[in-house]
Structure 1
Amino acid sequence: MTDWTPVADAHGAVGRVPLLLDQVEREAVPEAWDELWDRLCLHGETVSAASFAALPRLAALAPACGQALELASAIVRGTLRHPDGEAALAGCPNELAMLRELVDQWLRTRPADYSRLFGDLLALAGQYHWSASMGDFADDFFAVSCPDCETEVTIAVGDHGCYAAVRDWDQGDTERRPLRPAQVEDMPDPGRWMHATADRDGQQRLAEGIRHVFGRAECPACASVFNIAEAHTTANLPPAIETY
């Protein structure tokens, strides 16, 4: 049983969140859900100690309540924005596994908001940096540092091309070099798992985008060739340890 006495929400208040959880457990009250979002995931991104304390109860509701699943997933996506987020999640591995399975089942239905749910799945798998940065590859850009010369390289993957470039705010992306997408059989996890999930669900643009960001790029400044995913991970956080 959680002691809510010292647990503050996004507004610094204590005691309100458990009352709201009691309310939505009895009946689906839209106003109560709106307030829970405001207190547990303010503006869709600000999480607090109360957010992680609420996860077990949200997970218990999630199999029968889409609101609970969406809110719980949004909280997990905000893990790295809270100093104790990863430690808090370590206390509820069973709930995270169940939420991950529920999101994966939802993805198999190929919903209209597939890209958002795919980001939820990445977060629930511990891939917080990919969850935060990956879109649907209609027009995605990643900023990485060349491992050899430390030049900031823009990686573009989308309808306007798949290339590495040096971004100039007046001239745009200059010195473009085509990316070298990975072969699926050569991709390590999490790339192989991410690609397999997107391919399973018929999301071919997403699957092809993943091949490119887990491929290699030529630095426009020094011509060295580097692993894009490794450069992206180095720039954002140490690699997450996960079994697929």
Structure 2
Amino acid sequence: MPDWNALDDAYGSAATVGAMLEELDAGTGEVDWDALWSHLCHQSTVYSASLQALHYLLRAALKAVPAQRIEPLVLAGAIVSLADSAPVQVPGHPELLPLLQDCTAQTLHEVARDDLPEASFLHLLQAGLAFGGEGVWSRALAGVLEGELSGVCPACQTDLYIVIDPPQAFVTHEEWIGGAAVRTAVIEAGAGDPAAESERWLLEMARAHRDGFADTLRLLFGSSRCTQCEAPFELREAVRLNG
């Protein structure tokens, strides 16, 4: 058991969240997931206690039925995605990330399509990407729920809005919300399967569980042009430059 008093969380000493995790591990009492998020991943910041929590979250997921694995897997995914160290390592648990990744993929396959809300599906995809070491797409997929991602033009370094909010799909460097007339460039969907393993995995999961999301991914893996300098670019490159 970690020395929780020697670890930090969002509120200082991790003694309180350590007790919560020990209760989670023992299966006693109600799990307050909002409180765990607040202690371990507060405002997109993680702490020394957050990494030590990962194997507790894995055990919670492995013991749960598929529908109840979502909370521990998504929290673990956020911790891994936002951790400063890459790859994430927890002493004494060398196989932690592969086990989390396998559990996430299994959960995606086992939870029936109609029982998994769109947001939960995307959050599980984010977690699976994080466990596989793909931090950029793991973080960027949050923009899909909002209909807008951030990017940077590879040619002129201008900040870009990447809008994928059906039926809209365009790029602009100008503030577009509010109805103002702005210059836009159409997004052309990518053809064929992407070369990157993480992107192929995303498409595989989407084709198996969300046909409509596969179309969104093809746009994300497509191309457009910068409305500031007119240079063509791949959206994946613009997203990666934004980090």
Deviation at 1:192, TM superposition (A): 2.0
| Letter aligned with residue 52 of structure 1 | L
| Letter aligned with residue 12 of structure 1 | G
Deviation at 1:38, TM superposition (A): 3.6
Which stretch of the first structure deviates more once superposed, 127-136 or 217-226?
A: 127-136
For these two proteins, the number of residue pairs brought into alignment is 233
Q: Secondary structure at the residue paired with 2:4? A: coil
Deviation at 1:12, TM superposition (A): 0.6
Question: For residue 24 of structure 2, what is the aligned residue in structure 1?
Answer: 24
2:156 aligned with 1:157: no
After superposition, the Cα gap between the structure-2 partners of 1:173 and 1:29, relative to the gap in structure 1 and judged at 3 Å, is farther
Contact 1:139-1:159 at 8 Å conserved across structures: no
Question: For residue 186 of structure 2, what is the aligned residue in structure 1?
Answer: 178
- Which of these residues, 99, 121, 126, is aligned with residue 114 of structure 1? 121
2: CA distance between counterparts of 1:164 and 1:30? 45
**How much is the aligned-residue C-alpha RMSD, in angstroms?**
2.8
Unaligned 5+ runs, structure 2: none
Q: Secondary structure at the residue paired with 2:197? A: coil
| Letter aligned with residue 94 of structure 1 | E
| Letter aligned with residue 11 of structure 2 | H
Deviation at 1:156, TM superposition (A): 1.3
Question: For residue 240 of structure 1, what is the aligned residue in structure 2?
Answer: none
1: CA distance between counterparts of 2:145 and 2:6? 44
After superposition, the Cα gap between the structure-2 partners of 1:116 and 1:187, relative to the gap in structure 1 and judged at 3 Å, is same
Identical-pair percentage: 23
Matching of residues 193-208 of structure 1 within 5 Å: 193-201=201-209, 203-208=210-215
Deviation at 1:63, TM superposition (A): 0.9
Question: For residue 13 of structure 1, what is the aligned residue in structure 2?
Answer: 13
Question: For residue 77 of structure 1, what is the aligned residue in structure 2?
Answer: 78
2: CA distance between counterparts of 1:8 and 1:199? 41
Question: For residue 148 of structure 2, what is the aligned residue in structure 1?
Answer: 141
Deviation at 1:78, TM superposition (A): 3.2
2: CA distance between counterparts of 1:16 and 1:211? 44
Contact 1:156-1:163 at 8 Å conserved across structures: yes
Deviation at 1:35, TM superposition (A): 4.4
Instruction: Give TM-score, length-normalised by structure 1.
Output: 0.80
| Letter aligned with residue 29 of structure 1 | G
Contact 2:73-2:104 at 8 Å conserved across structures: no
1: CA distance between counterparts of 2:180 and 2:134? 30
2: CA distance between counterparts of 1:102 and 1:146? 36
Q: Secondary structure at the residue paired with 1:221? A: coil
Matching of residues 86-125 of structure 1 within 5 Å: 86=86, 88-89=88-89, 91=91, 92-108=93-109, 109=111, 110=113, 111-112=116-117, 113-125=120-132
Instruction: Give TM-score, length-normalised by structure 2.
Output: 0.80
| Letter aligned with residue 99 of structure 2 | M
